[in-house]
Amino acid sequence: MRVHPSVLLGGALLSGCVTSLRPFNDDFSEETPERALSLAVDRLSDVYSFTAWKGLDWPAIEAELSEELDENSDPDTIFRKLAQSMPDGHVSIWNDDRDRNPCPEADGSLGFRVARTDEDDLVVVHVDRGGSAAIAGVQPGDRFDGRAGSSAEDALAAAPLHCSPLGLATVDRQEAVAGVLVGRGPLGASVDVQIGGQALVLEAVDREGAWRHQLGLQAANERLSARMVGDGIGVLAIGWEDTVLSEEGFRRRLKGLWRQGARRLVLDLRDNDGGTDQTAANIVGTFTDRSWFYETITMYDRRTERQAEVSEVWVEPQELRWDLPVVVLVNGNTVSSGEGMAMMLARFPDVEVVGLEGTAASFGSAGSSMKLPGGWTMSYPAGRSLDRRGRIQLDSDASLTGGVQPTLPVPRSVDNLVADAQDPDNHLIELAIELGLGGR
Amino acid sequence: MLAWLLSAALASTTWSGVPDTAGTVDAGEVVVRLPYGRSSVGLSEKTELMVIPLDVPLRGTRVGVEHEVGSTQTWTVSVVPSAAMKWSGGRVSTRVDALAARTWTHHRAHLGLSSDARLLRQTTLGETRTVAWSLERVDVPLTVAWDWMPDGASGRTMVRTKLRTPLHDEGEALNWLTAQAGWLRRCGAKQRLHIDLGVGTLVGQPTEHIFLGDYSHTLVMAWPRVDVWLQF
């Protein structure tokens, strides 16, 4: 077959410079669990974007999980623990079998959730209506004293975090999920708990709801929503930002709020599930009149076996500009480009970020995955986000700190935590208006 | 990474009228290429009026004129002033392309220099609503293309390799280029179906801010296009 030199030139440019920059999609599902674990750890130790940044010791992780696998031969737990060994909100693990019990250790609900206050107290912030705790008389605001003979702190520390299908990148995120898990147990089991100075025996019962939702790992239900909440105040919530549809929809709703009289804006990024970087940058560009550097995206280069810079993203002024007061609302489920938007907006003059907690600290580039035995699939980041100096931005480091912290943190008082648990749609919005827009 | 849309427009049997290629359609000749291509009407032997209904990077429509300023048996030089407006009305692009082409029996080389100034129409929502225009970006790209025509200049098949790099782009230049390889074929004589299969990518440090999708899916973008070409 004849191939003309012009074809060879184009092909060489394309294959040599581009095809080495691809996410990994491995299939270890036909291997034995032991072999699959070894192959998975090999791959992750080679290509996971944050091994050094997060101080991960892959040989130690493999040794620990292998030993555990030899002892109890439960590959499901081992693969979930492998995922949880990466404190990263872009790591997730799921099973193809929807009927499979995602986590037998915590598939029953005791009917309460715990959180930590600014005073370092662990309190019950939510009680399920009609649940075991409610029947036993537990009230929101009661002090959590312990469980199964352990102190409250030890019970939290012993919570099976590997039940989370998402990586938990910060201490705050891990503690938030632990606060849910101490209120759960094996379905049908009776669990001793100490709450409000009382010793109670609560039965773990079946409660409906998606597993992710039960663990407080909500994702938004709607891409965009807008509403007026008071005199001249509009709330615009962004659930995810993936395409030009998000940009156009965002502008349309923003203009709609302005026409309805909104002159102050609450930009609600709670539970924002991320999306496309350029779309996020363009949404942020609605709030500025000049260019801002947003990030350099990197990806693992198979040819050099190192992270390679793929592209830069800038925030540019957009066709529509909002030149009125803005307050941004975040929570621990604000992840990826949702965090990126909060990061940039916090740098703008006159923009405040309000929340009970920081964001998910997971700004890497999603894309790689591996199939594991038993129907498990684990996804993990293929690249990083760097600031202008080339440093990793937002992703948590070895100390499990990172993300966007509120510039105006909402006090974690018992009243605020309980009110937020009872009325998540409105309580923080009211506080955001009071803290971030009061007097403006 | 960014993949550029391959230009699909093929004009007369001499292949004139292709973007980044010097040459015009004959006087009185009308060529309609949809949905992406460049439609033209020959105003004179040296001038054509052209319309690109969908200018993808701008998300608008482009209108312009190509005028041959000089031509011989083997050389053609032309200039193409054009303007485009985003359908939302928020952006306008004014561009001038200077193009030269040298043709051999089975090959053709192209050199193009363009200047594209993009204007932003910004609506500001403050206590009142105001509108202002500003210069958003100036891009001066250099394009080099090489066509291989195995059946000669009047044949049905052309393989094009094109490289494009900015000489000036927001203070940064020559640190990236786009590479394209395309295969174009036409069928029939008057009513023709043009099939353009290609792949494009961006090599180097991009300063281009327009993404055609998620970066994880645009590292290499194959871009098959079909343009219906009607000649009257």
β partners of residue A93: A378
- Strand ranges of the sheet holding A25-27, from the earlier edge strand across to the other edge: A25-27, A365-372, A376-383, A92-95
Chain-chain contact of A19 with B219 (C-beta, under 8 angstroms): yes
Residue B6 confidence (pLDDT) above 50: no
From CA A265, how far away is CA A257, in angstroms rounded?
9
**What is the arithmetic mean of pLDDT over A132-158?**
96
Chain-chain contact of A278 with B148 (C-beta, under 8 angstroms): no
Q: Are residues A279 and A424 in the same domain?
A: yes
Q: B208-222 pLDDT, tens per residue?
A: 333 333 333 333 444
Among A352-361, A426-435, B163-172, where is mean pLDDT lowest? B163-172
Chain-chain contact of B215 with A311 (C-beta, under 8 angstroms): yes
- Residue B148 pLDDT: 86
Residue B181 confidence (pLDDT) above 70: no
CB-based contact, B29 to chain A, within 8 Å: no
Residue A2 confidence (pLDDT) above 50: no
Local structure of A420: helix, strand or coil: helix
Q: Are residues A324 and A426 in the same domain?
A: yes
Domain final residue pick, A167, A187, A214:
A214
Q: Are residues A125 and A233 in the same domain?
A: no
Chain-chain contact of A317 with B220 (C-beta, under 8 angstroms): no
Residue A102 confidence (pLDDT) above 80: no
**What is the arithmetic mean of pLDDT over B33-40?**
73
From CA A297, how far away is CA A49, in angstroms rounded?
12
- Whether the CB-CB separation of A267 and A432 falls below 8 Å is answered with no
Q: Are residues A286 and A416 in the same domain?
A: yes
Residue A180 confidence (pLDDT) above 90: yes
CB-based contact, A74 to chain B, within 8 Å: no
Question: Three-class SS string for chain B?
Answer: CCCCCCCCCCCCCCCCCCCCCCCCCCCCCEEEEECCCCEEEECCCCEEEEEEEEECCCCEEEEEEEEEEEECCCEEEEEEEEEEEECCCCEEEEEEEEEEEEECCCEEEEEEEEEEEEEEEEEEECCCEEEEEEEEEEEEEEEEEEEECCCCCCCCEEEEEEEEEEEEECCECCCEEEEEEEEEECCCCCEEEEEEEEEEEEEECCCCCCCCCCHHHCCCEECCEEEEEEEC
**What is the arithmetic mean of pLDDT over B33-54?**
84
CB-based contact, A21 to chain B, within 8 Å: yes
- Residue B56 pLDDT: 73
- Residue A12 pLDDT: 41
Residue A6 confidence (pLDDT) above 70: no
Nearest-CA distance B36 → chain A (Å)? 19
Task: Name the nearest CA neighbour of B197 among B228, B223, B219.
Answer: B223
- Whether the CB-CB separation of A351 and A326 falls below 8 Å is answered with yes
Q: How many independent structural domains does chain A possess?
A: 2
- Residue B11 pLDDT: 36
- Residue A211 pLDDT: 73
Phi and psi torsions of A320, nearest 5° = -115, 130
Inter-CA distances, B153 with B46, B47, B112, B148, B183, Å: 19, 21, 20, 9, 15
- Residue B14 pLDDT: 53
More confident residue, A192 or B166: A192
B211 within some domain:
yes
Chain-chain contact of A323 with B215 (C-beta, under 8 angstroms): no
Chain-chain contact of B159 with A278 (C-beta, under 8 angstroms): no
Q: Are residues A196 and A294 in the same domain?
A: no
Domain final residue pick, A214, A235, A258:
A214
Chain-chain contact of B125 with A6 (C-beta, under 8 angstroms): no
Question: Three-class SS string for B82-126?
Answer: EEEEECCCCEEEEEEEEEEEEECCCEEEEEEEEEEEEEEEEEEEC
Phi and psi torsions of A245, nearest 5° = -60, -40
- Residue B145 pLDDT: 86
Local structure of A343: helix, strand or coil: helix
Residue A15 confidence (pLDDT) above 50: no
Give me chain A's average pLDDT, please: 91
Query: pLDDT-derived band of residue A97, with 50, 70 and 90 as boundaries?
Result: confident
Local structure of A9: helix, strand or coil: helix
Report CA Rg, chain A: 23
CATH number at residue A135: 2.30.42.10
CB-based contact, A25 to chain B, within 8 Å: no
pTM comes to 0.82
Q: Are residues A207 and A229 in the same domain?
A: no
A201 within some domain:
yes
- Chain B residues lying within 8 Å of A309, measured CB to CB: 205
- Chain A residues lying within 8 Å of B206, measured CB to CB: 311-312
CATH number at residue B52: 2.40.160
CB-based contact, A399 to chain B, within 8 Å: no
Q: A342-351 pLDDT, tens per residue?
A: 999 999 998 9
Helix, strand, coil percentages, rounded to 5, for chain A: 35, 25, 40
A131 within some domain:
yes
From CA A157, how far away is CA A10, in angstroms rounded?
57
A80 within some domain:
no
- Residue B133 pLDDT: 94
Q: A18-28 pLDDT, tens per residue?
A: 457 778 999 99
A295 within some domain:
yes
Residue A182 confidence (pLDDT) above 60: yes
Of residues A14, A299, A313, nearest to B199 (C-beta): A14
- Chain B residues lying within 8 Å of A350, measured CB to CB: none
Question: Three-class SS string for A381-402?
Answer: EEECEECCCCCECCCCCCCCCC
Domain residues for A231?
224-363+403-436
CB-based contact, A398 to chain B, within 8 Å: no
Q: Are residues A148 and A295 in the same domain?
A: no
Query: pLDDT-derived band of residue A284, with 50, 70 and 90 as boundaries?
Result: very high
A22 within some domain:
no
Chain-chain contact of A276 with B159 (C-beta, under 8 angstroms): no
Nearest-CA distance A52 → chain B (Å)? 23
Chain-chain contact of A366 with B124 (C-beta, under 8 angstroms): no
CB-based contact, B105 to chain A, within 8 Å: no
B residues 120-139 lying closer than 8 A (beta carbon) to A: 120-127, 129, 134, 136
- Chain A residues lying within 8 Å of B91, measured CB to CB: 319
Task: Name the nearest CA neighbour of B14 among B157, B153, B196.
Answer: B153
Q: Are residues A126 and A237 in the same domain?
A: no
Q: B94-123 pLDDT, tens per residue?
A: 999 999 999 898 998 999 999 999 999 999
Q: A285-320 pLDDT, tens per residue?
A: 999 998 899 999 888 888 888 888 877 888 989 999
- Residue B219 pLDDT: 38
- Chain B residues lying within 8 Å of A23, measured CB to CB: 216
Nearest-CA distance A323 → chain B (Å)? 5
Domain final residue pick, A214, A249, A280:
A214
Inter-CA distances, A98 with A95, A162, A187, A349, Å: 7, 18, 18, 47
**What is the arithmetic mean of pLDDT over A128-137?**
95
Q: Are residues A114 and A168 in the same domain?
A: yes
- Whether the CB-CB separation of B134 and B112 falls below 8 Å is answered with no
Q: Residue A89 corresponds to which tokens in the numbers above?
A: 């909100």
B207 within some domain:
yes
More confident residue, A218 or A34: A34
Of residues B127, B180, B219, nearest to A21 (C-beta): B219
Q: Count of A–B CB contacts within 8 Å?
A: 110
Task: Name the nearest CA neighbour of B223 among B205, B189, B196.
Answer: B196
**Residue A355: which H helix or E strand, with range?**
strand A351-355
- Whether the CB-CB separation of A250 and A322 falls below 8 Å is answered with no
- Whether the CB-CB separation of A125 and A201 falls below 8 Å is answered with no
Q: How many independent structural domains does chain B possess?
A: 1
CB-based contact, B197 to chain A, within 8 Å: no
Chain-chain contact of A323 with B2 (C-beta, under 8 angstroms): no
Q: Pick the residue from chain B with its C-alpha nearest to A21.
A: B219
Instruction: Give the β-pairing of B176-185 and B157-169.
Output: antiparallel
Q: Are residues A426 and A287 in the same domain?
A: yes
Q: Are residues A246 and A189 in the same domain?
A: no
Nearest-CA distance B46 → chain A (Å)? 30
Listed ranges A1-5, A155-159, B192-196; the one with the highest mean pLDDT? A155-159
Listed ranges A62-66, A211-215, A312-316, B189-193; the one with the highest mean pLDDT? A62-66
A376 within some domain:
no
CB-based contact, B72 to chain A, within 8 Å: no
- Chain B residues lying within 8 Å of A13, measured CB to CB: 179, 201, 203
Chain-chain contact of B125 with A21 (C-beta, under 8 angstroms): no
CATH number at residue A342: 3.90.226.10
From CA A195, how far away is CA A281, in angstroms rounded?
46
Q: Pick the residue from chain B with its C-alpha nearest to A276.
A: B214
B16 within some domain:
no
- Residue A340 pLDDT: 97
Q: Are residues A267 and A317 in the same domain?
A: yes
Domain residues for B73?
30-231
**What is the arithmetic mean of pLDDT over A129-134?**
94
Give me chain B's average pLDDT, please: 73
A35 within some domain:
no
Residue B113, amino acid? L
B42 within some domain:
yes
